[in-house]
Structure 1
Amino acid sequence: MAAAIARSYSFQPRSLFNSNTIYNPSPYGGYSWLGPAASRAGTTPRCRQICAAMQPRPTWLPGLDPPAYLDGTLAGDYGFDPLGLGEDPESLRWYVQAELVHARFAMLGVFGILVTDLLRVTGLSKIPVWFEAGAVKYEFTNTQTLIIVQLLLMGFAETKRYMDFIGPGSQAKEGSFFGLEASFEGLEPGYPGGPLLNPLGLAKDIKNARESKLKEIKNGRLAMVAILGIFVQASVTHVGPIDNLVEHLSNPWHKTVIQTLASSGS
């Protein structure tokens, strides 16, 4: 573990602590490498930089020595790849985009399920429970129309996304979409832009938007776990997540996931 942590440090002791810095007298009553603010504030920007550099890289398992191809440059990279799926650079590039798309769909799915289930449970709408919604006949359209909308519109959007993945920037070239290319101009593969897909102008400098990317992928991973939990709940209890929550709150000490799974297996 000590060796793994040591390899994560990104400063060289000899470059900081040497005879020219340690023993060079300073008019500020301290060592010259601490800088002029050391005697007043007890720390300096240089010290903070050094302390930050000394911090080991965060990994999904403390003390883990992450693979060389996961160098921390990707948003949300904590060195997790036990099966070595990302060793090939092209495969890793594809997996990054696949995770991003699944994360976004999961966030939309969780939001949609919770909102419609809340409307149904409170009696504000007669929306069916989410896992039965696909079998219901809707007055505003028919099944054939819904299939066409999904296949054509979503298929078109996914095709454009894939073409931008294999040829970054190709979908913003003049003449690629009826003169509307500027409305769909992407920031980089996986991050669409333009007034239609980025109306608020968030993260226009996508190269330096690491914090925004990290927040999105973290929330997306949480949503993927949540959607899996909703699927399992529906399979075991045959009701929606809001129903499960209401039942738990009615008797928190006896209506838990443990009792539910135990009763379903008996």
Structure 2
Amino acid sequence: MKLTTLIALILAVRSKAAFAPHNSPAAQWKRSTQSFSSMDRDSVLDGSYPGDRGFDPLGFSKSKPALYQYRQAEIKHARLAMLAAVGWPVSELLNPKIAEYFHLSPTVDETGCAPSILNGTLNKINPIFWIAWVLAASWIESYGLSRIKTANALPGDLGFDPLGLYPRDEAGQRYMQLAEIRNGRLAMVAITAFVFQEYITDYGVVRATSIFFQLAVTAIKEFAN
């Protein structure tokens, strides 16, 4: 079984568990078990943050401020990884057709691999793109830092919810936070697997796991024809 196929199957199972009702046997089992820890759980890893399984074998979270900073960083990376886990295969599917439509050279190479550091194809990306995203990321980071200083917000809380999906009740908020951190952690593993699989096999993720993208590939082919 290819690495990305295994990651996708794990993602499906974990996502189902993450959204299981609180009173379900699966949820009760997850709440009752704890991971290994090199620290006294009562001191810092007290379960105040969703997804806290008491797992800190290297002892990074030595204080509440340190734990807050690490959770803040974890959520940022988790959100980026969730976007990347979707954007990576979508780019491999759509980039050649979009480039052809605009009479440009595709950034996805002949093996179907998206540009990355390890395969040495990032030079295909227009520098203007990098400048635009550095500026956008700097603005988002500045806004996030100002939000933390002024509102004493929870890690990852930027006050951004244009669709009003965030629950108003405490139990619903806790559940949403737990679902986000679980799926984010899995996405960080998945996107790392994407990078290394393409580097090792020199074969695109979409091509390697075409069964998961067959409908999308068919739709694109019909649209192109």
Mark the runs of 5 or more structure 1 residues left unpaired by the alignment.
Answer: 1-47, 171-186, 248-266
**The one of 120, 128, 135 aligned to 2:123:** 135
Moved runs in structure 1, 4+ residues, more than 6 A?
63-66
1:163-221 Cα distance to aligned partner (Å, 9 max, x none): 323x1428xxxxxxxxxxxxxxxx6441222xxx3111122537540000000001000
Is structure 2 residue 214 aligned with structure 1 residue 232? no
Residues 162 and 150 of structure 1: is their aligned pair in 2 closer, same or farther, counting only changes over 3 Å? Answer: same
Larger RCO (CA under 8 A, 6+ residues apart): 2
| Greater gyration radius | 1
User: Alpha-carbon deviations, 1:83-129, whole Å to 9, x = none?
Assistant: 11112211111000000000000000110001122336xx7455413
Q: Any conservation in 1 of the 2:39–2:56 contact (CA below 8 Å)?
A: no
Aligned ranges for residues 187-206 of structure 1 at < 5 Å?
Answer: 188-193=154-159, 197-203=160-166, 205=168
State the alpha-carbon separation in 2 of the partners of residues 234 and 152 from structure 1: 29
Identity percentage over the alignment?
Answer: 32
Aligned to 1:241: 205
Residue type of the alignment partner of 1:135: N
Q: Is the 8 A contact 1:168 1:188 kept in 2?
A: no
- Corresponding position of 1:222: 186
**Rounded Cα–Cα distance in structure 2 between residues aligned with 1:168 and 1:212:** 24
CA distance in 2, matches of 1:99, 1:65: 19
With structure 2 as the length reference, what TM-score do the two structures score? Answer: 0.63
- Of 74, 78, 81, the residue aligned with 2:56 is 81
Corresponding residue of 1:97:
72
Alignment of 1:172-211 (within 5 A): 188-193=154-159, 197-203=160-166, 205=168, 207-208=170-171, 209-211=173-175
Residue deviations 1:9-58 (CA, integer Å, cap 9, x gap): xxxxxxxxxxxxxxxxxxxxxxxxxxxxxxxxxxxxxxx9xxx99x9732
Aligned residue identity for 1:212? M
CA gap of 1:188–1:74, structure 2 versus 1, over 3 A, is closer
Counterpart CA distance in 1 for 2:143 and 2:202 is 38
Separation of aligned partners in 2, 1:206 and 1:164: 22
| C-alpha spacing 1:66/1:57, structure 2 compared with 1 (3 Å) | farther
1:147 to partner: Cα distance? 3.2
Q: Is the 8 A contact 2:38 2:59 kept in 1?
A: no
Counterpart code for 1:82: P
Per the normalisation by structure 1, the TM-score is: 0.54
CA contact (8 A) 2:92 2:206 kept: yes
Kindly report the root-mean-square deviation, in angstroms, between the aligned alpha carbons of the 2 structures: 3.3
Tell me the secondary structure at the aligned position of residue 131 of structure 1: coil
Q: Note closer, same or farther for the CA distance 1:205–1:106 as it changes in structure 2 (3 Å cut).
A: same
Q: Assess if the C-alpha contact under 8 Å between 2:38 and 2:57 holds in 1.
A: no
- Inter-CA distance 66–227: structure 2 relative to 1 (3 Å threshold): farther
In structure 2, the partner of 1:67 is 41
CA 1:135–1:67: 2 relative to 1, 3 Å: same
| Structure-2 residue corresponding to 1:152 | 135
Q: Which amino acid aligns with 1:244?
A: A
CA contact (8 A) 2:93 2:206 kept: yes
Structure-2 separation of matches of 1:200 and 1:56: 30
Q: Which residue of 2 aligns with 1:9?
A: none
- 1:230-253: CA deviations, max 9, x gaps? 111021012221122249xxxxxx
